[in-house]
């Protein structure tokens, strides 16, 4: 397969689709089998028809390539204004200014570039965050469902599983699990989060380049999702299952060189091990956690964790520090 940078020299979506199909040694009929009619596919390759996001998603899975990233450049992010608005929204989200985010949504949701495709998904993503900020979890769930339905029309309240791989889609899917958890629907939250992990594991095992434009995001999603499942199972006192998911995150982080939220995963693993009275293992996790704080230069958290150990984990003080 050609590298992403090479493929970006194509000027149309149809040209890109044709090039990727040929690198996979597929005929047009092979590429569209069970996805759409040959006539529709030919029209897409010839840039006569604009594909739906769902169809592009199915073709991405068939061709093992993230077509969504290029699709959004052609059909969604057509204006500098759209990119500027999303950057503004990101700042408001980071700062937790959801009242201001809601004002931004009210101002932009009827702009032409935010009426369809991935940009419309962003609108629903923003709305879900605002609803969550108001603790209206049912409304937050519905906004997530609306956004996911754009990427995969099979999504509904009776069918919470589908083909999702865009960054905003995966964010919506992950957050759907969070909102369901806060609504008390723990089994559904677990199923969604577990599906995210399984899907990432399968695609990474085949070829990490499937996620061309979003590799780092997918790594971070895997770690935060494994952490969330571990926390959920800890709350249910299913400690051994919780440890399995914390360990999944740690192994993935080491294998794929990603430290995102690794410290809090190791720290929570330490707490669970301590609860199980596996003090030697808990101490080992504590030492790793403290080492990570030092590597990150987070001296304040290092000192706070040191104080917490003295107050809440006295058994660890009895175990000699590793040389």
Query: Which domain covers residue 173, as residue numbers?
Result: 80-257
Q: What is the mean pLDDT of residues 188-212?
A: 79
Q: What b/e string do you get for 290-316 counting C-beta neighbours within 10 Å, with b at 16 or more?
A: bebbeeeeeeebbeebeeebeeebeeb
93 and 116 housed in the same domain: yes
Q: Are 273 and 282 in contact (CB under 8 A)?
A: yes
Output the pLDDT for position 310: 87
The dihedral built from the CA positions of residue 176, 181, 184 and 190, taken in this order, carries a sign that is positive
37 and 171 housed in the same domain: no
Output the pLDDT for position 7: 39
CA distances from 97 to 34, 140, 189, 254 (A): 45, 17, 26, 34
134 and 155 housed in the same domain: yes
Question: Where residue 22 falls among pLDDT bands split at 50, 70, 90?
Answer: very high
* Helix ranges (DSSP H) in 134-261: 137-151, 167-182, 186-206, 215-235, 239-256
221 and 101 housed in the same domain: yes
pLDDT in tens, 290-311: 999 999 899 999 999 989 988 9
Instruction: Among 223, 257, 291, identify where a domain stops.
Output: 257
48 and 36 housed in the same domain: yes
267 and 207 housed in the same domain: no
113 and 250 housed in the same domain: yes
Percent of the chain with pLDDT over 90: 57
Q: Are 288 and 266 in contact (CB under 8 A)?
A: yes
pLDDT in tens, 48-69: 887 877 788 789 888 888 787 7
Q: What DSSP letter does each residue of 79-145 carry, written as one string?
A: SHHHHHHHHHHHHHHHTT-HHHHHHHHHHHTTSGGGSSHHHHHHHHHHHHHHHHHTT-HHHHHHHHH
Q: What is the pTM for the complete model shown?
A: 0.78
Q: What is the mean pLDDT of residues 132-154?
A: 92
In a domain, 63, yes or no: yes
Q: The domain spanning residue 229 has which CATH number?
A: 1.25.40.10
90 and 62 housed in the same domain: no
243 and 271 housed in the same domain: no
103 and 204 housed in the same domain: yes
In a domain, 206, yes or no: yes
In a domain, 75, yes or no: no
Closest CA to 172 of 240, 121, 231, 135: 121
How many structural domains does the chain have?
Answer: 3
Q: Give, rounded to a whole angstrom, the gap between the first and last alpha carbons of the chain.
A: 48
Instruction: Among 68, 91, 117, identify where a domain stops.
Output: 68
* Angle, in degrees to the nearest 10, between helices 215-235 and 167-182: 10
Q: Which residue is associated with the tokens 């000027």?
A: 11
Q: How remote is the C-alpha of 311 from its chain's centroid?
A: 36
CA distances from 14 to 11, 25, 104 (A): 9, 17, 34
Q: The domain spanning residue 32 has which CATH number?
A: 1.10.260.40
* 71 Cβ contact partners less than 8 Å away, ≥ 6 residues apart: 13, 51, 53, 56, 117, 118
Q: Are 11 and 19 in contact (CB under 8 A)?
A: no
158 and 234 housed in the same domain: yes
pLDDT in tens, 271-286: 999 999 999 999 999 9
240 and 154 housed in the same domain: yes
In a domain, 74, yes or no: no
Closest CA to 83 of 73, 93, 92: 73
Output the pLDDT for position 10: 47
In a domain, 243, yes or no: yes
* 229 Cβ contact partners less than 8 Å away, ≥ 6 residues apart: 190, 193, 194, 197, 242, 245
In a domain, 249, yes or no: yes
Question: Is the pLDDT score of 106 beyond 80?
Answer: yes
Instruction: Among 24, 41, 68, identify where a domain stops.
Output: 68
Q: Are 162 and 64 in contact (CB under 8 A)?
A: no
CA distances from 301 to 78, 167, 178, 290 (A): 43, 30, 26, 9
* 191 Cβ contact partners less than 8 Å away, ≥ 6 residues apart: 160, 161
Q: 135: phi > 0 → left, psi -120 to 50 → alpha, else beta; which?
A: left
In a domain, 73, yes or no: no
In a domain, 150, yes or no: yes
């Amino acid at each position: 397969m050609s590298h992403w940078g090479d493929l970006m020299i194509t000027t149309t979506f149809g040209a890109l689709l044709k090039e990727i199909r040929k690198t996979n040694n597929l005929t047009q009929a092979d590429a569209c089998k069970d996805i759409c009619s040959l006539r529709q596919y030919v029209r897409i390759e010839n840039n006569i028809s604009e594909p739906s996001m769902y169809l592009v998603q199915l073709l991405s899975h068939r061709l093992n390539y993230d077509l969504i990233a290029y699709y959004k450049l052609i059909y969604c992010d057509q204006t500098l204004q759209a990119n500027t608005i999303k950057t503004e929204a990101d700042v408001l989200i980071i700062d937790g200014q959801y009242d201001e985010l809601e004002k931004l949504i009210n101002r932009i949701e009827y702009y032409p570039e935010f009426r369809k495709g991935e940009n419309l998904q962003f609108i629903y993503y923003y709305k879900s965050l605002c609803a969550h900020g108001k603790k209206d979890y049912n409304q937050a769930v519905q906004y997530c469902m609306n956004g996911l339905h754009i990427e995969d029309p099979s999504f509904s309240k009776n069918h919470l599983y589908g083909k999702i791989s865009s960054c905003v889609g995966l964010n919506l899917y992950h957050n759907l699990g969070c909102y369901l958890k806060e609504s008390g629907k723990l089994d559904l939250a677990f199923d969604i989060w577990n599906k995210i992990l399984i899907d990432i594991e399968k695609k990474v095992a085949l070829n990490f380049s499937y996620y061309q434009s979003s590799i780092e995001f997918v790594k971070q999603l895997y770690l935060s999702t494994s952490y969330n499942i571990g926390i959920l199972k800890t709350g249910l006192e299913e400690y051994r299952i919780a440890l399995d998911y914390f360990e999944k995150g740690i192994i993935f982080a080491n294998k794929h060189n990603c430290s995102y939220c690794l410290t809090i995963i190791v720290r929570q693993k330490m707490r669970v091990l301590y609860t199980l009275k596996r003090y030697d293992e808990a101490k080992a996790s504590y030492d790793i956690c403290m080492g990570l704080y030092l590597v990150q230069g987070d001296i304040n958290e290092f000192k706070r964790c040191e104080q917490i150990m003295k107050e809440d984990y006295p058994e660890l003080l009895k175990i000699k520090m590793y040389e």
